[in-house]
Amino acid sequence: MQPFPGDQIQLPRNMIENSMFEEEPDVVDLAKEPCLHPLEPDEVEYEPRSSRLLVRGLGEHEMDDDEEDYESSAKLLGMSFMNRSSSLRNSMSVYRQSSNGSCSLPSTRTMVVCTVILVIAVALIMVIYLLPKCIFTKEGCHKKNHTMELIYPLATNGKLFPWAKIRLPSDVVPLHYDLVLQPNLTSLKFSGSVKIVVNIIRVTWKIVLHSSGLNITKATITSAGGHQEKPAELLEYPLHDQIVVMAPEALLVGQNYTVNIAYSSNLSDTCYGFYKISYKDENSKQRWFAATQFEPVAARSAFPCFDEPAFKATFLIKIRRDEKLSTLSNMPKKATTPVTNGIVQDEFFVSLKMSTYLVAFVVADLKNISRETNGSLVSVYAIPQHINQVEYALNTSVKLLEFYQNYFLINYPLEKLDLVAIPDFQSGAMENWGLITFRESSLLFNSRTSSARDKKLITAVIAHELAHQWFGNLVTMEWWNDLWLNEGFATFMEYFAMEEIFPELHSDEDFLNLIFKAMMKDSLNSSHPVSSAVQSSEQIEEMFDALSYIKGASLLLMLKHYLTKDVFQAGIEVYLHNHNYGCAQSDDLWDSMNEITNGTLDVKKLMKTWIVQKGFPLVSVVRKGKIISVKQEKYLYLVEPENWTSDESYLWHIPLTYITSSCNFTHCTNAYLLDQKSAVIELPEEVEWIKFNVDMNGYYIVHYGEDWKTLIDLLKKNHTALSPKDRANLINNIFSLAGLGKESLEKAFELIDYLNKESSTAPLTQALFQLSLIYNLLEKKGEQQLAARLMHRIECLLGDKIDQQSWTDDGALSQRELRSTLLAFACTHDIRNCRTTATEMFEKWVNSNGTMSLPSDVMKAIFTAGAKSSDGWDFLLKMYSSSVSEAEKSKMIEALASTEDVRKLIWLMQNSLEGEVIRTQELSHIIATVSQSLPGYLLAWDFVKENWEKLTRKFHLGSYMIQNIISWSTSQFSTKAHLVEVKSFFESKSEQSSQLHSVKEAIDTIQLNIQWMERNLAMLQELL
């Protein structure tokens, strides 16, 4: 899956994780676990006290093998003693009754004796009762890990629900699903039935599986070879989205049984599960569209299932529909048969073995174009009015599919691959096997309105999702703690494939900027390891973040350069062949790589230091003649005593790379593995300068100490001695170190003085990003004069470069993208004559009633300038409602959200939440844009506070939409008052909300902003 790239850190999918109740440990031991259950079998989840039931006397058939040894919690708490000892009350009474029925007081001696006897009796009973029975046996007791006994919750009907864990048991595994669905796009409901063939691993009387929001009307069990369905008792526990089918008799090891369940539900009004979408057709008539989004845990809301990635099975899907509509699913269509008047049933071929989150189906009025390649039919689908925008996606998909098949040496295993543009879709795309679903702006290319950046985005998203057909679909992570195996690999392959097939797109520069942004998140104390223990749905959702995607991908990039591309490719081939149609953990990947290195390098030992530790290293370099001293420490912005782990516990195995003045070409790159806290590198000769982390291929920051002056002089005299990526790397590192307090802001500004000679996109983009961060902090802090002086400094550096830009779509793709960046920045901040020129072009467009063609690369700048006036804003909104180009609409949304009219901003956010004129998928993009402006940043936060309950109903807690909304609405705060307000707000909400990693990250970011201002404000006043 790909979170939408326009938000926050533009995740390539194009776009979760740790314990919800405590800070993640800094080092996590990821011991290899069995495929079906990475968690230890004795790991137990405990429910809120209100939902617990203390249980005694369960029949043997109601308990698993590993549960039978447990005593009840009532016993543990000593509660049962009260019942057992009640019979003692009469015989041991310390009162005597006289013949007349009155009581006489006992003697003192009697009282003492009775008290002693009572105490001894109670003590003996307690000891006998509470000690494990095994103490009194010949064999004695086996040592247990259990610190508490199982506490079972109550089902919805008040009965005992015989499963207490969030994870499903491993005693029953699914083999095959027969799924029949009938969605009604008039009533917006659906009914369904599922037959699940299961195999019994251990004797049990229960089958535990997932179900969420389904109205189950029937549940039966059929034994292997049997024809009679036997009614089964059904228990539901909504807190864990679980149901239990209680068998009428014991289910035997090795036998297959079929679970039959009938149910119904509403089509979801969120973008999760099996959901409904409203859109306007060519005649402006409202139409309905039904689609699925199951990753990570929403398949259970469309059909009862074993909704965990390791429970792979095959699927036979049948969908009943209106004969005027069409359906798509993972597999090719096998047959269509009439059911009743106007209703037909489409049956699809049986799928390959796959996880539930990859199941998909679409019911809609669609058109498509197709092309065959290597035995597979590739098709791109869209609603009829968009079919003329799918050709670029089809051509790109065919090229990428052919590339991946050649690179992995494994053919795409299905006979067809469908790519479908969905009118309202929260992710960038979703990699469902054989049926990839996309946000329309991530798939549709309009040659008239799509910019160079739009083309790059579409290419990247397709490349990402096609890579998933191998990484994720063919080989799947065993559990969500290793999500990076899916997403990190798909992100890495996305950029690698684009460099190989579409070098003119310069996608490596985009990846560089994403790594810089991911490192900002990873430097906070609220960060987490790439591979992190997760269980709840909120924790799982939060794994879909920049660390799983970007950090995971950058670690693979670093490993590829260290191993060499041929060794790395061979390791990938071994990994895919060893685990195809199965599941894998991080260690399986490293073991595959070690098969190729054959003992020359322990890849597992090296990479574990990166996967199980959060954060990244800061490498300090001291040069004295030919001797280079290097040392590593943890790079960390914020240190809080209560949850800080000493730097001494952190050690990375860092594949250092460096070039020197004696030879600065790529083939002259030197390597050194720093696997200790410090080391010394001896050069063959003295050099004028040395640059570490060549092309930013390593995931670390470098501090050059006294050598910063040498590098600053190099950039001023001959900046092309370093590659554009190396120049961007230096800009990022020195500003990062200034924020950390390890280098002066004065030196950072001195380094970028060379920019008036810069012409490459990567360093210019990174400089603008760093300077914009500072400008935004100053502006929101009320330091308007200082902010204006900073903008004047930027204009002096880049003004000539801005003046050189033409208002056209001419030039190479990289030139066009730089033009978009510079002119959008200049118009936003009213630099030079940008806004005047843009306004004139906007007025001409308005006078043509929107029919005049505008250059796509500068369209956003023109719309943003036009939206500054009330009439221009209103016209833009009208054109948004009627536009059929998703690329054009995306630029309009950003322009509409850039207005300074408070009422319009409030209306825009509220309308997007309701999804009437503005689609709900745009909300986080709108909040991100609104929060950048001076009037908007407070409005965005107020909107989030006032609509928190609606937001968390619409977008799941922990989802990347919620992550981005929290981040953007708070990222501009830099005062202690705002820090207290944000903390107090989330503390007043549910524990799940307050413990979200995105909330902790937001608080860390505000503290960092406060710290940055305290450290650098005085220096800025002198510098500017």
What are the residue numbers of the active site? 465
- Angle, helices 923-930 vs 960-970, to 10°: value is 10
| Secondary structure string (H, E, C) spanning 606-641 | HHHHHHCECCCEEEEEEEECCEEEEEEEECCCCCCH
- For residue 534, report the phi and psi dihedrals to the nearest 5 degrees: -140, 150
User: 100-134: b or e for each residue (b if 16 or more CB lie within 10 Å)?
Assistant: eeeeeeeeeeeeeeeeeeeeeeeeeeeeeeeeeee
Token pair 């689908």: residue: 381
DSSP H or E run through 115: helix 108-130
Q: Round to whole Å and give the CA distance between 3 and 12.
A: 7
Asked if residues 456 and 499 have their Cβ atoms less than 8 Å apart, the reply is no
What Å distances lie between residue 325 and 70, 269, 288, 290, 335, CA to CA? 55, 20, 10, 11, 15
Q: Which residues sit opposite 117 in a β-bridge?
A: none
The contacts of residue 806 (CB under 8 Å, 6+ apart) are 819
Is 894 in contact with 881 (CB distance < 8 Å)?
Answer: no
Distances (CA, A) of 621 to 519, 613, 714: 20, 23, 17
Of residues 486, 389, 491, 399, the one with CA closest to residue 442:
389
* DSSP letter string, 525-560: TT---SS----SHHHHHTTSSHIIIIIHHHHHHHHH
Distances (CA, A) of 144 to 56, 222, 416: 20, 37, 52
SS3 state at 34: coil
State how far the Cα of 981 lies from the Cα of 515, in Å rounded to an integer: 31
Q: Which residues pair with 825 in a beta bridge?
A: none
Alpha carbon distances (Å) from 138 to 132, 133, 135, 144, 355: 13, 11, 8, 18, 47
Dihedral angle of Cα 592, 593, 594, 600, to the nearest 10 degrees: 160
In whole angstroms, what is the distance from residue 395 CA to residue 413 CA?
Answer: 20
Give yes or no for a contact between 427 and 445, defined as CB atoms under 8 angstroms apart: no
Phi, psi of 336 (to 5 degrees): -125, 125
Sequence-ordered alpha helix ranges (H) in 883-959: 886-896, 902-914, 923-930, 936-946, 948-954
How far is Cα 928 from Cα 343, in angstroms, rounded to an integer? 44
CA 576/CA 413 separation, integer angstroms:
13
Q: Name the packing angle between helices 708-718 and 724-740 (round to 10°).
A: 140
Residue 511: both structure tokens together:
């990846």
CA torsion angle for 737, 741, 743, 744 (degrees, to 10)?
120
Q: Which of 948, 988, 953, 992 is nearest to 48 (CA)?
A: 992
